[in-house]
Amino acid sequence: MNNVLPHSLFTSFDIDLFRSGKHFQLYEKFGSHLLEVDGVKGGYFSVWAPAAKSVSVVGDFNYWVQGEHLLNVRWDGSGIWEGFIPGIENGAKYKYKIQSNVNGLVTEKADPFARYCELPPNTASVVWDLKYKWKDSGYMKTRADKNALDRPYSVYEVHLGSWKRKVEENRFLTYIEMAEELVAYVRETGFTHVEFMPVMEYPYDPSWGYQLVGYFAPTSRFGKPQDFMFLVDKFHEAGIGVILDWVPSHFPSDAHGLGFFDGSHLYEHPDIRKGYHPDWKSLVFNYGRNEVRSFLISNAMFWLQHYHVDGLRVDAVASMLYLDYSRNDGEWEPNIFGGRENLDSISFLKDFNEAVYANFDGVQTIAEESTSFPMVSRPTYVGGLGFGMKWMMGWMHDTLEYFKKEPIYRSYHQNDITFSMTYAFTENFMLPLSHDEVVYGKRSIFGRMPGDEWQRFANLRLLYSYMFTHPGSKLLFMGDEFGQSEEWKFDGSLDWHLLQYDFHNGIKKTVTALNKLYTSQPALFEKQFSQDGFEWIDYSDNQNCVISFIRKGNNPKDDLLVICNFTPVVREEYRIGLPSKSKLTEIFNSDHPDFGGSGVSNPKAVKAETKPWNGREYSAVVCLSPLGVSVFKIG
């Protein structure tokens, strides 16, 4: 007996939008929804399965018996199966049992639109009401200013499962516990934003969350959906923005996931040259299928709407842009113009960005993109992909290569540390030192630093100070802010005990001071993506391994002079050219004793004199600390 009543949340307009790839709120229609129909309370279920012969809802309410609750296929050829089951309550577990019309195959699938999932390794979806009383109205009214491109944007990247653990119980922190501990820590260290590696439900811990199954469900590892809302709410209460890693590039082939969903290639591209990712052994979305585009863009909108997130960092964009990404000759097919660009994916990314920025004020999309693909962070109306920012992978690679060299050899590699400025303003760049740089034998960021103990910590302070004074927004992976010694391990906790040691605590103090410098000095953020905000003083002093430049804001009175000394040699009388006859007041020095430094500084203001230097009419003599960065206010 079929105990499913005919019912629909879809209008004909919904169906038209879905089919055209323009329905961006599918989460209001698909999935499970608690409703009252003709005075009867229960659950409405709907799923897209056009190749299905029959679809049953199986769950703990019918002993997982196929055929007890058969959904009804819509008459309009949309491939949507739906129906209302009386008596369904919040917390009911369920899946879809799908018999394929193509090959008779029977699949048992989690709901692609489930708002909550069983704790892995269990795989059922859970009927869940997302009611929550938000308390962040004040923050939401002002976030457009907080998240603007001319505001400070300093990101603390976090893997929720390994930031900190309850050692005595060997368990994760919950969302509720993180709302107290993590929020307080990010506020203490001064970051403006936190970025979570994927929180959407995933089956396999070693994937770090990048192999998603529950695209609409925060992982149950740390609590319930409302608990995650509470965590976001608490970050907003502290004035901190929340960015989520989002993975529209690929998905795993787990039996309960999206792959071969209704016995056909529904979500993945049917051509293995476009539908399979050789690096991650995963499936690739079919970006040319309108219904799939609607699914993905709806997913992005869901997190922005229901979870109040402030940005989406889009993972592996490079793999989406190119048909030959990680493929050998003969393993890919050129596009209709004979090129290697994935035209469907490019079109999808433009649609995604247009939808996000048109519907939400004060949010940003950020591309993790490692190639020279043009105009990633330029508006679509001028031919760009439409992202707000792009990771500056070239800066990251060149800088880490430079810093791992002993200072005695750095004079031969000055170009590594200055080359980024030749293209720094071609995109809105974010400077990342991310989780990818502290795994797979690369060592921790601290582990790359050369020299004796003092020099290694001085080099790390130098690196971060150079990073925070370089144009662009910033991202630092958890643990880097106190000089984590070992590589990151996803199944453990950060080495918090290191903070008992002065040098490690000094790194934390340095990062905190740099965040304060970055957020308080307009010259470091007002024009961080504009050539107008930067001027070289000297990039050619490779003999001394010194570079110097000016950072500029809207008001010339805010201008800053930055001098970086990449050797352990104190330069007591270093002459520097200046654009005006001004005085220099040192406002930051990475060699400060509080940070673990030697205390070499410029305690008194330094006056410029009329003596030409560095091609400028005026100059001044300053003292450069060893392996240090000095920041001066020009006034």
User: In this predicted model, what pLDDT tens digit does every residue of 326-381 receive, in sequence order?
Assistant: 999 989 999 999 999 999 999 999 999 999 999 999 999 999 999 999 999 999 99
Q: Let me know if residue 75 belongs to a domain.
A: yes
Domain containing 48 equals: 12-126
State the pLDDT at residue 168: 79
Amino acid at 168: E
For residues 208 and 266, state if they share a domain. yes
Marked catalytic residue, from 68, 195, 344, 368? 368
Any catalytic annotation for residue 157?
A: no
For residues 381 and 256, state if they share a domain. yes
Confidence of residue 4 (pLDDT cuts 50, 70, 90): confident
Residue 506 host element (H or E): helix 502-520
pLDDT for residue 2 is more than 80: no
pLDDT for residue 606 is more than 70: yes
For residues 88 and 191, state if they share a domain. no
Q: Where does 2-102 show beta strands of DSSP type E?
A: 31-37, 40-48, 52-59, 72-73, 80-86, 93-100
Q: Let me know if residue 33 belongs to a domain.
A: yes
Per-residue pLDDT tens over the stretch 198-234: 999 999 999 999 999 999 999 999 999 999 999 999 9
For residues 238 and 327, state if they share a domain. yes
Q: Are 283 and 275 in contact (CB under 8 A)?
A: yes
Q: How far is the C-alpha of 333 from the C-alpha of 330, rounded, in Å?
A: 7
Structure tokens at 548: 């110097």
User: What phi, psi does 370 have (nearest 5°)?
Assistant: -110, 5
For residues 474 and 369, state if they share a domain. no
pLDDT for residue 118 is more than 70: yes
pLDDT for residue 3 is more than 80: no
Q: Let me know if residue 239 belongs to a domain.
A: yes
For residues 437 and 515, state if they share a domain. yes
Q: How far is the C-alpha of 569 from the C-alpha of 626, rounded, in Å?
A: 5
The residues near 181 (Cβ < 8 Å, ≥ 6 apart) are 164, 173
CA distances from 50 to 33, 43, 54, 214, 557 (A): 21, 22, 10, 21, 64
For residues 68 and 217, state if they share a domain. no
For residues 33 and 90, state if they share a domain. yes
3-state secondary structure of 358: helix
Q: What is the CATH number of the domain that holds 269?
A: 3.20.20.80
pLDDT for residue 1 is more than 80: no
For residues 312 and 189, state if they share a domain. yes
Any catalytic annotation for residue 291?
A: no
Marked catalytic residue, from 82, 157, 262, 315? 315
- Percentage with pLDDT > 90 across the chain: 96
Closest CA to 249 of 336, 331, 312: 312
Q: Let me know if residue 70 belongs to a domain.
A: yes
3-state secondary structure of 229: helix
Q: Are 198 and 244 in contact (CB under 8 A)?
A: yes
Q: How far is the C-alpha of 195 from the C-alpha of 159, rounded, in Å?
A: 9
Q: Let me know if residue 408 belongs to a domain.
A: no
pLDDT for residue 483 is more than 80: yes
In the predicted model, what is the mean pLDDT of residues 7-34?
97
For residues 542 and 623, state if they share a domain. yes
Number of structural domains, the chain?
3
Q: Are 172 and 133 in contact (CB under 8 A)?
A: no
What is the widest separation between alpha-carbon atoms in the chain? Answer: 96
Query: At what angle are helices 502-520 and 175-189 packed, to 10 degrees?
Result: 80
For residues 227 and 340, state if they share a domain. yes
